[in-house]
Chain A
Amino acid sequence: MPQLNNADIVWMLISTAMVMIMTPTLAFFYGGLVRKKNILSVLMQCMVILCVISVQWVLFGYSLAFGPDVGGVIGALDWIGLRGVGLQPHDTYMSTIPHQLFMAFQMMFAVITPALIIGAFVERIKFSAFLVFVILWATLIYDPLAHWVWAKDGWLAKIGALDFAGGTVIHINAGIAALVFALMLGKREGVGHSRAPHNLPLCVLGAAFLWFGWFGFNAGSAGSAGTLAVTAFINTNTAAAAAGVSWMLLDWCYNKVPTMLGVATGLVAGLVAVTPAAGFVTPVSALAIGAISSVVCFIFVTKVKPFFGYDDSLDVFGVHGMGGIVGALATGVFATKAVNPAGADGLLYGNPGQLWVQFIATIAAIAFSAIGTAVLYKFVDLVIGMRVDTRDEYIGLDLTQHRETGYTVIE
């Protein structure tokens, strides 16, 4: 019979709160990157997702993702309204903390995933359409995918795919959804000159607190206050640091100057990439993962996006999608049982099969997310209309969608 452990409860309460703050923090990271007429719309979208998905999760989302298994693809609705989800531990899901605390920790992941997609459709989406899309996407895309990877009988969990803290479920999923969304929604109006972020300090503040929150995200995914949490903590910091440095050097080489936005983008890419690997690799491997993710994301953000001309406005696909893919595959290369006996050995430790499993999980997530997002997009676009009028887009979403302004020009 599982026993409650107070140290674990403390750590998981703190981790849950740290992951919660990542969504408002993401709002500032994204908000600083849009034009000032749209700042409130971005903050609003993030905050509303925090509210709406928290409600969805308690009502039925958690049950769909983690409830009693139905064919390895979805959870049954037995835990609707948290029925049967009590203060005693669940025997599989973090078995030393209350089941409700595990539910709350997972809730914050369910919240931040749709929030990540916001970066693809900022400055041009109708708020009502956004709201409907987010609820549908969380329910029909996120919850099943979370079940596949994390529920004890999910089919990707069963084939042995490693995803420590959500590289596949969160970052690949959100990144691919963002790419599909950007392709279907089209470019923003009037971003020829004013592509420049309206408030970089806000963006950097956001990046800094994302880094901080990510300790809860990754080290919290250990599920206990033990040595595994320390491993994930160190790996998280190391990968972020390595990725920040690499992006700075790439900027310096190719654009002649090191930039603040470059370092902020790079460190997020590193955090994304280390997410699936955090509890399975050594610190030196984490360093390599961070550096590699920066290079790949740099290529996608500065070369691939301009080449194809899609307006993934804040590089959700370039950073989260590609960073997530790098992380998922790198986990299959660098993972070692010496770090985590519950994990598996990767390619470098004599088990090339793990890389194949990681590849299957990645492809499954990409396919499911892309197709599902496209269908939901079409549906919402037909029923409500996804995009605001061109004139409203020019005036800005703050005034046209919310009748508010972020900044005054004169008192």
Chain B
Amino acid sequence: MKYIIAIIKPHRLEDVMKELDKEKVYLRTVVDVVGCGRQRGITEVYRGVKEVESLLRKVKLEIAVNEDFVEPTIAAITRGAREGEIGDGKIFVFDLKECVRIRTGERGKEAIG
């Protein structure tokens, strides 16, 4: 079992979700986040004079998958999120020790579903 966290551009979310659906990966948690990487933040104008560097809006996807789905999930996120520019985001993959379905108490592979 793996836990996949992806940071993507907010406007790519719909495409990423469509790609995930195609791979039959339906479970996902999505959070609004802000941050910046090497491309730094974006410049905003405040009352015409002051320019502020602010963090960029990003979306974080969190997905728990069984081994068979790891590569398809990574491929789906990449297809959906890639624009070929700095700021497209990153995918992190973690080993997942345990998973419990609260309703039934099932554990592990079964519980991810």
Contact = CB atoms under 8 A, between A and B. Distances in A.
A394 interface: yes
B43 A409 contact: no
A51 interface: no
B82 interface: no
A190 B80 CA distance: 13
Nearest to A405: B44
What class of interface size applies to chain A in its complex with B?
A: 10 to 19
Contact of A404 (B33, B44, B83): B44
A256 interface: no
Say what secondary structure dominates the interface of chain A: loop
B68 interface: no
Interface string B16-29: 01000000000000
Interface in B54-99: 54-55, 57, 83
A395 B44 CA distance: 14
B100 interface: no
A232 B55 CA distance: 52
A194 B14 contact: yes
A37 B12 CA distance: 14
Nearest to A399: B42
A178 to B, nearest CB: 25
Given A190-B11, A194-B14, A395-B11, A409 B32 contact: yes
A190 B14 contact: yes
Interface string A202-224: 00000000000000000000000
Interface in B1-59: 9-12, 14, 17, 32-34, 42-45, 54-55, 57
Contacts of A396: 11
Max chain B Cβ within 10 angstroms of own Cβ: one of A192, A194, A402, A410: A410
Given A409-B33, A410-B55, A404 B45 contact: yes
Contacts of A410: 34, 55
Contacts of B43: 403
A399 B9 CA distance: 14
Nearest to B11: A394
Nearest to B17: A193
Contacts of A409: 32-34, 57
Contacts of B83: 391
A395 B45 CA distance: 17
A393 to B, nearest CB: 9
A404 B44 CA distance: 6
A62 to B, nearest CB: 31
Nearest to A393: B11
Contacts of A394: 9, 11-12
A405 B45 CA distance: 10
Contacts of A194: 14
Contacts of A37: 10
A405 B42 CA distance: 11
Contacts of B9: 394
Pick the 8 closest A-B CB pairs, nearest first.
Answer: A394-B11, A403-B45, A409-B34, A403-B44, A410-B34, A409-B32, A190-B14, A193-B14
20 contacts: A37-B10, A190-B14, A192-B14, A193-B14, A391-B83, A394-B9, A394-B11, A395-B11, A399-B42, A399-B44, A403-B43, A403-B44, A403-B45, A405-B44, A405-B54, A409-B32, A409-B33, A409-B34, A409-B57, A410-B55
Given A394-B9, A405-B44, A405-B54, 5 more contacts: A190-B11, A399-B44, A403-B44, A404-B44, A409-B32
Interface of A: 37, 190, 192-194, 391, 394-396, 399, 402-405, 409-410
